[in-house]
Amino acid sequence: MYGITLEEIALYEVVGKSTCIDNIVIVPAFYEIAIKQTERDRAFNFSLGKYMSKNGYSFSDICPEFHKFSKPHSRFKTVIQCDAIWVRAKIAGVYQFEPPRGLCWRYELLNIPFLAVILDESKRLLSIHPFACVEEDLKAGLEFYPVTPSKWRLKISNVFWKVLLMSQKLVDFMDFVLGDDYDDYSSVVMGSDFVAGHWNNEFHLCECIYS
């Protein structure tokens, strides 16, 4: 099961509400650990898209307003998978957590740290697993550390996505995100600064045009 101990983590603050399914408690938290991630750990293996496809979920059933939004439209021809916008609105509702707003612009739409606390049947602590909900070209996924074996990465990711998909609450937000001018691949945002959000019962994604 591995994971880390309380002595191996510098926990600064629990920043939201926890959830618990199948004896896996997930809570947003700010912390530091002296463990480096490898390229394998950063691989995008636990995405929302893969979970939904494997388990028969569809945005047309889960969230019709996002399904309507995510179809290609005039400005962004490739906006088919941009579920990070939906996840951003869901995390704020489920975990009652809003990313810090000290700056006007963000470098990523999603990069939110969590702790998964594994309990036994008697609710005693078995292990702690740090991970983050991140995005790549506006597709949401999870990144883990080497201390979490593949078996538990899968269990934690299944619980994480299940909780978001079960919730009906969407929270309004508007985030200004700096694009990556060095992208050399087909990107949804094409290296441009953009605004993403949810307000007035609609999802939004707009490129920033400078005069």
pLDDT confidence band for 105 (50 / 70 / 90): low
88-102, 138-152, 178-192: the lowest-pLDDT one: 178-192
The pTM of the full predicted model, rounded to 2 decimals, is 0.86
pLDDT confidence band for 79 (50 / 70 / 90): very low
Tell me the pLDDT tens digit for each residue of 115-153: 999 988 777 878 899 999 998 888 899 999 888 999 999
- At 106 the pLDDT is 62
- At 45 the pLDDT is 79
For residue 194, tell me if it sits in a domain.
no
- At 77 the pLDDT is 44
For residue 103, tell me if it sits in a domain.
no
For residue 77, tell me if it sits in a domain.
yes
CB neighbour list of residue 104: distance below 8 Å, 6 or more residues apart? 176
- At 186 the pLDDT is 42
Q: How far apart are CA 91 and CA 85, in angstroms?
A: 10
Q: Of 16-25, 68-77, 183-192, 200-209, which one has max mean pLDDT?
A: 16-25
Radius of gyration of the chain (CA): 17
Q: How far apart are CA 92 and CA 17, in angstroms?
A: 10
81-85, 92-96, 183-187: the lowest-pLDDT one: 183-187
pLDDT confidence band for 182 (50 / 70 / 90): very low
Across residues 161-181, what is the average pLDDT? 86
Higher-confidence residue: 49 or 207?
49
Inform me whether the pLDDT recorded for 74 exceeds 70. no
Token couple for 125: 């602590």
For residue 190, tell me if it sits in a domain.
no
For residue 196, tell me if it sits in a domain.
no
For residue 66, tell me if it sits in a domain.
yes
Residue 135 in 3-state DSSP? strand
pLDDT confidence band for 210 (50 / 70 / 90): low
CB neighbour list of residue 211: distance below 8 Å, 6 or more residues apart? none
Q: How far apart are CA 114 and CA 144, in angstroms?
A: 10
Q: How far apart are CA 9 and CA 103, in angstroms?
A: 27
Number of domains within the chain: 1
Question: 174 — phi, psi (to 5°)?
Answer: -145, 115
Residue 77 amino acid letter: K
* Owning domain of residue 55: 6-98+109-172
For residue 191, tell me if it sits in a domain.
no
- At 101 the pLDDT is 61
For residue 24, tell me if it sits in a domain.
yes
Q: What share of the chain is helix, strand, coil (3-state, %, to 5)?
A: 25, 30, 40
Using an 8 Å Cβ cutoff, are 183 and 194 in contact?
no
